[in-house]
Every structure is written in structure tokens, then in C-alpha cells.
Structure 1
């Protein structure tokens, strides 16, 4: 398959309008499907596997008791969304509806670890070797099996005293309740870069960012956040 298969931002948005169970984030289509039992979740998992084999295009699926977390991206064209992802997403949704699975996009979270540094080249290999990760074209590090959070290096000449922070990517449509909940905990919120990200700082000065797909490139590449 060639890069002609890759969907633009507008094409992704058009597909999402007819796929209400799915959200876009970090170069992938994502959904969460909650079933009425562990057995039915496993049966749906098997059905999705058969669909994937038929399409010769395979999603990442995390089975957690009665819930499936599903991610679709096309690694062969740069880990971005292709027409194959949209087609398989529609097939999965149809099967999920047939068995009464409930979409729960509000449960979607994708965590990345950001490290402030004025020279990522001198530290990146240490983290790659320790974690067994792969270095991406943008310099970030990712788990080849998709189990651990990605790590990316935020280039800055003035690293924060607390050099680590988490980037938590959520669908923009689900972000408001999360930000409200953070505010209720007493966290300080910096909305200067919203809706792309909002910087939250807890009462002891530790930071995290609530990030959304709004304002990011279609490839989902990390952007400076805090």
C-alpha cells in the first residue's frame, strides 16, 4: 500500500462524523468498547481478529475484563491514519453494535513522558537502552510492542527544575470534564495553548499536560507542551 492511502485531517474528520464511537489522537483512530461480560468481550475480540485477518490490517487491542481498548494506525505508511483504518473501524463498530457493546470514548487516555533537556542526543540512548524502545524519526522513543508510554525530549535552553512531566492525550470532546476535575483538586491550569494542551500543576509543583488532537499535525507528532 502506498502513501496515497493516507487520510488528510479533513478526511479523518469526515470519517469520524459517521463513526461516533471513534476518536482521533496521536496518529491513530481509537475507541473503547464495553461488553456485558468478560466472555462477550473475548468473543468480540475474536471477531475483530477475524475482520483484521480478512482485511490484512491489524489493530492493537488491549483486553481488560469486559472492555476492549482498540487502536488503529497504519505503520507501513508512517504510523498515520489510512483508508484501511477507517474501513476496519466501521466494520468493528458494526460488529460491536450487533453484540450490544457500548462505546466508551470517555475512557480514552494515551500517556507520553516528556523530558526537558537542552541536548537530547546525550541522554536519548540511555533511555532507549534501558527500556528496549525504538527511536522514531522525530527523536521520540516508543515501545515496539505498544505496552509502555512513549518518551519524547522537549528541547529547551532553560529546563524546568522538575524535568519530567506527563502528556495525557484525550479526545477533545472528552477534555472538559477532565479539566473540571483537575480544577476541583486544586491544580493550577494554564490554558495559554488550549485546546492543543492545557498545563496542570499540582500543589507541589509537579506538571502534566492534558493534550487533545485539536491543533496537532495529522501525524500526531509531539509538540512542545510545557
Structure 2
């Protein structure tokens, strides 16, 4: 079990990731995707990850899609942050993936949150939490305890947007340029005032989404969860 003083700062996470090229930082966790030659070899990799998890008594969120395995490590016992247990586990999984013929494709790992504009988050958050079966997260947001549904966070503002709900699509900065270019090519309005942290995209009917990166996020960065 990790202690609060085991939580890594964003600078420490970045230092660790310099030696973990297969992995990216994402909203309190380390994430990656491995592509294997076949579905059978993906199952072999999953078994290897399971052995690592049991040996270290630290278990990831894992999703299998044919010959790709999506993996996320986070220390839930300290509120969903990155600790040294996560970096050690990520290093061990990278070794197992290499032995299984896995190819790292971390750019495929994207996360989606729902942002809600509101003048009073406390007045509505419990409705969303109960209806979704979620729990409270790191910064007053709501998270699926099983890691399957999108997160929900509340953007408090005295002037909520007419379209109060928007999506935050999180990708790694290293892989974000292509998506930004392709989205701009659709004719959407692109507001890059806060880039590279996030770019606000507005479609022709006024609906918004944000294309976000890990910049400006971390346990030691105030307000890192929203935009």
C-alpha cells in the first residue's frame, strides 16, 4: 500500500517517463497500448501482466481488443495518483511486452471526460454521481469506480455556456499534432489560447469539445483536472 508521501510530482513523473518510452502520463495514471502479432499472443501478454501484478501486488486497469492491450496503472489507495509502484510496474510490463513481441502504441490510448458548465456544482453533482453509480474523484470530479465510463467534471462559472455539456478528449502531447490538424481541416473553429494544454473546438452548430494533452496536469498543479 502506498502512502501519501509516495505520490510523485509532475517533474518526478516526467523524469521516470524518460526511462519508460512505452508509457504516457494521463490524469493520475500511466497508460500505454501494446499491439501483438495475434490475438493469442495478446492473451499471453495479458497473462504476463497478470503475473507482474500479482508479484507486485499492484493491479492495472486492462482492456483487451483483439491484438491490442490497453493498460493503465494508478495508485488508487492514495486517491488515484502516480507513485513509484506505478513506475516500477510499468517497467516490468514493458519487459513482459517485449518478450511477447508487443509493439508499444501509446498514442492509441485516449481518455474522454464530460465537462458540465454550472454556476453551482454542489447543487447538481450528487444527481450525476448517484445516477451514474460513480464516486467522487481527485478534484471534485466524478469517476467510474470500475474505470469503464467517462469521467464527469464541473466547470464552475457565473456565465454557463448555452451548450452546458462538452467533451474533453485526452491524448498525449507527443501524438496530438495530427489530430489537431485533421480536426482543423473539418472546418471547425479552433481556439488555441490555452495550447498545448487544451484546444477548444467548436462545430458549425456551436457544440464544443476540448482536445487536451497532459500539459498542465499533475498532483502538484492546481486546477489540473479541468479546462
> If the length of structure 2 is used for normalisation, what is the TM-score?
0.95
- 2: CA distance between counterparts of 1:219 and 1:100? 36
**In the alignment, which residue of structure 2 is the partner of 1:101?**
102
Following superposition, the deviation at residue 137 of structure 1 comes to 5.0
User: Unaligned 5+ residue runs, structure 2?
Assistant: none
Paired residue secondary structure (1:138): coil
Alignment of 1:104-115 (within 5 A): 104-115=105-116
Deviations 1:135-155 (A, max 9, x none): 235221111111100101110
Instruction: Classify 1:224/1:144 alpha carbon distance in 2 versus 1 (closer, same or farther; 3 Å).
Output: closer
Paired residue secondary structure (1:41): helix
**In the alignment, which residue of structure 2 is the partner of 1:214?**
215
- 1: CA distance between counterparts of 2:164 and 2:70? 30
- 1: CA distance between counterparts of 2:40 and 2:130? 39
Paired residue secondary structure (1:31): strand
Following superposition, the deviation at residue 66 of structure 1 comes to 0.9
Task: Quote the RMSD (CA, aligned, Å).
Answer: 1.4
Following superposition, the deviation at residue 159 of structure 1 comes to 0.5
Decide whether the 8 Å contact of 2:10 with 2:220 is kept in 1: no
- 1: CA distance between counterparts of 2:104 and 2:89? 16
Q: How many residues of Structure 1 are paired with residues of Structure 2 in the alignment?
A: 225
Following superposition, the deviation at residue 222 of structure 1 comes to 4.8
- 2: CA distance between counterparts of 1:129 and 1:223? 21
Instruction: Classify 1:129/1:4 alpha carbon distance in 2 versus 1 (closer, same or farther; 3 Å).
Output: closer
Deviations 1:48-80 (A, max 9, x none): 001000000111001111111100110112211
**In the alignment, which residue of structure 2 is the partner of 1:66?**
67
User: Unaligned 5+ residue runs, structure 1?
Assistant: none
**In the alignment, which residue of structure 2 is the partner of 1:201?**
202
